Amino acid sequence: MEERNKTLGEFIIDKQEDFKYSTGELSRLINSIRLAAKVVNYKVNQAGLVDITGAAGEQNIQGEDQQKLDVFANETFMETLINREIVCGIASEENDDFIIIKGRDECHNNKYVVLMDPLDGSSNIDVNVPVGTIFSIYRRVTPVGSPVTIEDFLQPGDAQVAAGYVIYGTSTMLVYTTGNGVHGFTLNPSIGTFYLSHPNMMFPKDGNIYSINEGNYVHFPQGVKDYLKYCQREEEDRPYTSRYIGSLVADIHRNMIKGGIYLYPTSSKAPKGKLRLLYECNPMAFIAEQAGGKASDGFGRIMEIVPTELHQRVPFFCGSYNMVAKAEEFMSAAL
Ligand code: P6P
């Protein structure tokens, strides 16, 4: 069968041998994410029609108003993962603490933990802008049979066994990696099947798009200000184009296809940056590096950072390899 016509299910089966030491659990885990993505996709597409947009009246640990779809997406992914006896723990942007999961046998024999942002960019829901789900998968590091601990979640990004995102946009795509390249699947909504539409996705080494909220300019580190002036100067292949959707998954997905860099540096409003290391930056960094791109905190690889807390934030520079490398040059020069 020609690669492009493969369904996600067929692709996972074909790639089963890529999952070293896996007894099929990781394949089942990716399949359960596929199912949850279809359910969330249906609700996201209904957002304008039923009373499911707008705030849910609650606030998450980030102090952000929880949109109803946030809550729905979180519950959908949680239930789908918990019901399939595959994971032993889940951490979510929407939950203050991680969730310990026992099997039906009341034991803790499953070996994977999942960290996720169930609906990133949810403030865009009411204005019909693409939103996304981001997920990161690790093997637990504490002994199988005991309840997971925070140690199982505070692993550096280099230890991820799989990561990916769902983008609910003009079409719905699931893009993921298990360390053997990045592959994109597009949902055919009429039959509810994801088809391999973007095999072996690669970040162009160079690009001419930069994505940043320039409203924070006065608060940026000097190195970022210098890099932005570099992007805007009439020289060589510049000025670059500024494109910022305000939805991480959408901005990075576009930049991976067209070439570009996404930056969320520190600012006075976000002294450590805004994006969360464990369930936004690390999974997107795994995707970026597997696609030949680069993901940095401005000085070093995101995936080398040893996490210290579940919801910690870091500065995030991600995209075309040469663009991120150039931004790092300006950051170092400004020290
Ligand atoms: P700002 C959405 O809230 C998000 O986490 C990312 O999806 C997005 O790139 C960023 O924050 C937007 O933040 O401060 O520019 O509105």
- Band (pLDDT 50/70/90 cuts) for residue 126 is confident
> For residue 66, is pLDDT > 70?
no
Could you give the CA distance from residue 37 to residue 288 in angstroms, rounded to a whole number? 21
Domain locations along the chain: 8-198, 209-333
Q: Residue 279 has what DSSP assignment? A: I
What is the DSSP pairing of strand 241-242 with strand 209-211? parallel
Cβ proximity of 241 and 209 under 8 Å: yes
Average pLDDT over residues 123-129: 88
- Band (pLDDT 50/70/90 cuts) for residue 3 is low
Give nearest CA residue, ligand 1 atom 4.
121
Q: Is 332 exposed, middle or buried (0-12, 13-18, 19+ CB in 10 A)?
A: exposed
* Atom of ligand 1 at shortest range from CA of 132: 7
Give nearest CA residue, ligand 1 atom 1.
246
Amino acid at the residue 300? G
Beta carbons within 8 Å of 265's beta carbon, 6+ residues apart: 212, 220, 221, 224, 273, 298, 315, 316, 317
Asked if the peptide bond before residue 265 counts as cis, ω within 30 degrees of 0, the response is no
pLDDT of residue 183: 96
* Atom of ligand 1 at shortest range from CA of 247: 7
pLDDT of residue 238: 96
Q: What is the pLDDT of residues 245-287, one digit of tens each?
A: 999 999 999 999 999 999 999 998 899 999 999 999 999 999 9
Choose which residue among 131, 133, 264 to substitute to test ligand 1 binding: the one with the highest number of ligand atoms within 8 A of its C-beta. 264
Distance between Cα 268 and ligand 1 center (Å): 15
Q: Is the pTM of this model over 0.80?
A: yes
Give nearest CA residue, ligand 1 atom 13.
246
* Atom of ligand 1 at shortest range from CA of 211: 9
Could you give the CA distance from residue 315 to residue 299 in angstroms, rounded to a whole number? 10
Nearest alpha carbon to residue 262 among 324, 328, 174: 324
Choose which residue among 167, 247, 318 to substitute to test ligand 1 binding: the one with the highest number of ligand atoms within 8 A of its C-beta. 247
Could you give the CA distance from residue 317 to residue 218 in angstroms, rounded to a whole number? 18
Q: Is 213 annotated as a binding residue?
A: yes
pLDDT of residue 193: 95
pLDDT of residue 229: 98
| Fold designation for 209-333 | D-Maltodextrin-Binding Protein; domain 2 (3.40.190)
Q: Is the dihedral of CA 289, 242, 236, 258 positive or negative?
A: positive
Which residues, judged by CB distance below 6 Å to any ligand atom, belong to the binding site of ligand 1?
A: 120-121, 123, 213, 246-248, 251, 274-275
Distance between Cα 275 and ligand 1 center (Å): 8
Select from 3.90.1300.10, 3.40.47.10, 3.30.540.10, 2.130.10.10 the CATH code of 8-198: 3.30.540.10
Mean residue pLDDT of the chain comes to: 92
pLDDT of residue 16: 74
ipTM: 0.98
* Whole-number percent of the chain with pLDDT over 70: 95
